[in-house]
Amino acid sequence: MLAWKDIDISELSAIDQQRVLTYYRRFHRLHKDYLPFTCHAAFPIVLTPDLLHKLWMNFREKSGEGSQALPITVATADLLFSPLCRNIGTGIYEMHPAIRNLFLQHLKNDEAWGGERLKRLAYFLRFYLEENKKYLPAEAYRSALSWQALTFTDPAEAARRLLQLLGEEGEAFSLKAEQSLKHARARNALRESAAAPGPSSASDPLHIAIAVADSQLAYRKGDLAASVQLLEAIKNHLSYLPPNEDSVKVPMPGEVIEQIGLKKAVPVESTPDPLLPPRGHIVEYGTSRKGGRIQVASTLRDVYFRNEDIGDQTLIEQLETAGVEDGVPIIYIRRRNMAGEMIPTKIRRAARAGEVLAEARRLISDGNLYDAFQWTELVLRSFPEHKEALEAERGIRDKALASKEIVQGPEDEPSPYLQAKESAQNKDFENAIRLFGKAIEEGSHLESAVKDLAMLHHQMREPEKGIRVLEDNLHKISDKGSACNMLANLAFAAGNYEQAIEYLDMAGRFAGPGRKPFILRTYGLCHLKLGNYDQAEACFEQLLSYTRDDAGAQQALEAIAQYRSSGNFESLERIEDIIFESGIEEISLTSELSPLLQRALAQNNYEGVPESLRANQNLSHTTLRNLRVLIRKSGRARPEERARYLLTEARLMQQFEPDKVTGFKSVLARYCNAMALLTAAQNYPNPVVRYYYLETFNLEDSWASLELQIGVYISSYTFKGVDLVKIAGQTSRPINLSKLWEEVLSIIPDDKRVELWDGTLDMFIAN
């Protein structure tokens, strides 16, 4: 067991010795667990309050029977503000290097933990960066921590990345390489004397890469002898021809190659196949009661599993022989039990993406698309741009849709989906649920049927059933972003905030800039509900970087600060209600739209539709086609009439063309453009005009069709009213945006330039 008496500070400098002694005298009598906590905190090269909190949650240890766990509210602050650490930026700390090495060596040399503990710390750090990188304000810190974790969890990939730097030129290479080598050498120094068994240093890919990089750096500094000597030591592990196309080729000077007997390039074998971070750790396992316990990495909560749900024989052997003293990293998918709960299944050791995708392909060939989708999604959560995983995801959806034979009834009989919509409007919910289920089974308006059925369950105050509908059909849906948003809303409505956070993680992969504020707001509210005030604070601070005037976020930060200073919990409860009312969207098919557009659609009275049809609600596809003719005739000369007709077109598309999401948003973008011109012509304040243009930018997928609107938007900082309408009417010639920007800057007053820059940033954030 770790003990203060085993720490030797004799090799530290006098000032570092004094720092350690001060820390020891202050805290060793308060709680025995300060020492293991400090040793674990020495692993990350930089620290933040959130990182230290998560580290404590994952690695807290008790000193013995009857002792109480070290309280985080005390330990985090005690360590960060102790003489051992120093502040290096806003909310960023580091342990003094020599002291950090001392405690890290002490942890590594401990018989109970040793090298395996370091590896688990690295897995924890890697997963933390995947899920919580927003809490680290600077890219340099994220990059350094990511590299540190990679050297322990995937040395082959670390070797490949290190050697890629050798292809870069100039001083920039030297600086990058020196930083990367620093962390790689630190890993090797700990590994060489670690208790955990492993491959010899001579065959370790990172050891080889360090030697090659050191040789390159020595040669660039003019030390030919040192360069040759470094490569001679690893000569047997190098070849002049690449063993496969994934090898890393390192160009070497001819005189070095000649002296060590190589003729061309030095390749080091590596793999582009990344290692997935563990989804959790098995912390309890028993053969007698045929089950165990998993600590989920994302929520730090425990879930239970049955031994029969382990799908990896090697993992079973490891659990039976080595036990779970240090926690066993695993990945898994989920299934629904008899009680309707999602529980872990197909549990296996942490694996590479290639292994997981191979399993997914096997499941696809067997027709088990649900499990195949879960394995594929597990890869994409960590590596969103993984080409093979994206291809597998598309293949799963195509096969799911192909397996559904759409049943066509008589031509005059509405589809099950349209019948279900009619039943829902008539409040015949039981029949609507049956018909939506039939539509899903037959593939009739599949995506809309799934989302509408989930929404209907929400309206009936059955969010758990809505979650089940979406989860069971998620692999068939192309627009997974909106589906994940709905799942997050449903989980929040059900009071399952941990599950809501998991769905928000999935939604973040698909979200554009316009959706980020909603996701951050919901993240923050979930963490408030869970009492995770550090995480909530970080979410609301990031939300303010998107929407600087978000009153809910500002009030939330003030309430958290007040709670910390005075312990006033009532302010937090009040702010939860305020944010819930203003920030959590009501679930609907238009839940990705702004509240303004949602209200406009809800209040639309089918302007442009003949009164006889409106009175009887006798609407059809023919009504929609006739309305589009009216819109073309109205043209730009009648913006008010055009805006009303476009809004009606969007509302009719919701009913008769629910799958045309892109077209629906395009119509609403044209509506917002018409409203911008209308408000300008009626001399509304320019911020109102710009608001409608920002809505237009948010709805369009690219800048290609927005050149005219951008020109008017920029001009609104120097012109107003009819002048803006005249600029918008200049369609006979393209607008030179660069020239227009220069003209606006040349005439805008100095005190308005900040407003112009802010508005331009808003424009880019919107699209």
Mean pLDDT of 52-72: 60
Question: Model confidence over 400-409: pLDDT tens digits?
Answer: 766 654 444 4
Residue at a domain's end among 101, 126, 153: 153
Question: Model confidence over 538-575: pLDDT tens digits?
Answer: 788 777 766 666 677 777 888 887 777 776 666 666 66
Mean pLDDT of 623-651: 76
Question: Model confidence over 152-181: pLDDT tens digits?
Answer: 777 777 777 777 766 554 333 444 556 666
What pLDDT is attached to residue 288? 65
For residue 344, name the pLDDT band (cuts at 50, 70, 90): confident
Q: Report which of residues 288 and 631 the model is more confident about.
A: 631
CA 714 to chain centre: 33
What DSSP character marks residue 584? S
Instruction: Give the integer Cα–Cα distance in Å for 712 and 692.
Output: 12
Instruction: Give the integer Cα–Cα distance in Å for 43 and 470.
Output: 41
Written as one string, the DSSP assignment of 713-745 is HHHTTT--THHHHHHHT--SS---HHHHHHHHH
Question: Model confidence over 711-765: pLDDT tens digits?
Answer: 777 777 777 777 767 766 654 455 566 666 677 777 777 666 667 766 666 666 6
Is 181 within a domain? no
By the 10 Å C-beta count (0-12 exposed, 13-18 middle, 19+ buried), 124 is classed as: buried
Percentages helix, strand, coil for the chain, rounded to the nearest 5?
65, 5, 30
For residue 707, name the pLDDT band (cuts at 50, 70, 90): low
Q: Which two tokens stand for residue 53?
A: 């909190």
Angle between the N-to-C axes of helices 114-132 and 97-109, in degrees from 0 to 180, rounded to the nearest 10? 120
Instruction: Give the integer Cα–Cα distance in Å for 333 and 302.
Output: 15
Tokens 């001060």 found at:
22
For residue 65, name the pLDDT band (cuts at 50, 70, 90): very low
Q: Compute φ and ψ for 633, nearest 5 degrees.
A: -70, -35
Say whether pLDDT at 452 is over 60: yes
Is 489 within a domain? no
pTM over 0.85? The answer is no
Is 744 within a domain? yes
Percent of the chain with pLDDT over 70: 68
Is 559 within a domain? no
Say whether pLDDT at 41 is over 60: yes
Say whether pLDDT at 365 is over 70: yes
Residue at a domain's end among 122, 153, 184: 153
Is 19 within a domain? yes
Say whether pLDDT at 666 is over 80: yes
Residue at a domain's end among 153, 181, 209: 153
By the 10 Å C-beta count (0-12 exposed, 13-18 middle, 19+ buried), 537 is classed as: buried
Say whether pLDDT at 133 is over 70: no
Q: Total domain count for the chain?
A: 2
Question: Model confidence over 199-228: pLDDT tens digits?
Answer: 344 457 777 777 887 777 776 666 777 878
Largest pairwise CA distance in the chain = 95
Domain that includes residue 103, residue range: 4-153
What pLDDT is attached to residue 631? 74
Question: Model confidence over 468-500: pLDDT tens digits?
Answer: 888 888 877 777 777 888 888 888 878 888 888
Is 132 within a domain? yes
> Alpha-carbon torsion 180, 185, 190, 196, what sign?
positive
Is 604 within a domain? yes
Is 460 within a domain? no
Mean pLDDT of the chain: 74
Mean pLDDT of 499-503: 83
